[in-house]
Amino acid sequence: MSRENQVFICVVVACVILLFTIGLSRPDLLVEDGIGESLGAAGFAAASLLALRAAFKSAFVTSTERSILVGTSGLSLILFLSEISFGARIFGLQMPQMSGGGEFDGGHDIIILLVRLLNDAGRTELLVIATGMALLVAAAGVLLALFRQKAQASVRYILSRAFEFRLAVAVCMLASAVTLDLITSYKAAILEEVLEFSASGVLILAVSALLRKKSQARNAPPAGIYKQTRQWNAYVDR
């Protein structure tokens, strides 16, 4: 892992701990439709627009980076809409009711529905699901063994790059937030909101890191100038 990424992850962890501590003492800041959720929604919207602009306005991004930026923009847009309940809270719309209670007003509700379906499933259905999951895990293990070197190279590549590493951190934070949403706990709810809010900032910083790198590459003088400078310095030293 690069030194920049080491510092970044330490700062992110420190910020999450700080915000979680504040949330415990001031839970009104992180309640549903509170200032924390509103700022998180604004952050996801900003990340979506920034990634979309970087994908089509920057002439120095590669085709792979452009595809990742478009995907990041789409993900951030979905997260923004999920934070505002797809406009239901702004326009006073009535969202569909979910089986077992609650409204379907966010992307995380898909996970909640799946968990409820598992709880309501019979023994036969659970056996089929368990068998399917076991087969998927086995297939993933086989693929990982076959492409182990490529997987290790991909991990090393992500750990050494600011843009890709920050995207991975944001995805992990969002996955953790979805998991926490399944836990009926006051502290889990606060940590979920903190992770979602922090993930929006990490997404913005990820795109900013790529733009900074491309800007530095664009403004850097050609390699030939460095060679000529070294030759001139060697001549002067003589």
Question: Per residue in 187-228, pLDDT tens?
Answer: 888 888 888 889 999 999 998 888 888 776 666 555 444 444
Residue 36 scores a pLDDT above 80: no
d(CA 13, CA 43): 18
What would the pLDDT profile of 50-78 be if each residue is shown by its tens digit?
Answer: 988 888 876 677 788 888 889 888 888 88
Residue 92: the pLDDT is 61
d(CA 94, CA 101): 14
The mean-pLDDT minimum among 44-48, 51-55, 97-101, 191-195 falls in 97-101
Residue 97: the pLDDT is 61
Domain that holds residue 196: 3-237
Residue 14 scores a pLDDT above 90: yes
Residue 204: the pLDDT is 92
Query: In the chain, how many domains are there?
Result: 1
Q: Give the CA angle between residues 141, 142, 145 to the nearest 5°.
A: 85
User: Within 10 A of 73 (CB to CB), how many other CB atoms are there?
Assistant: 22
**What type of residue sits at position 184?**
T
Cβ contact 40:193 at 8 Å: yes
103, β-bridge pairs? 97
**What type of residue sits at position 234?**
A
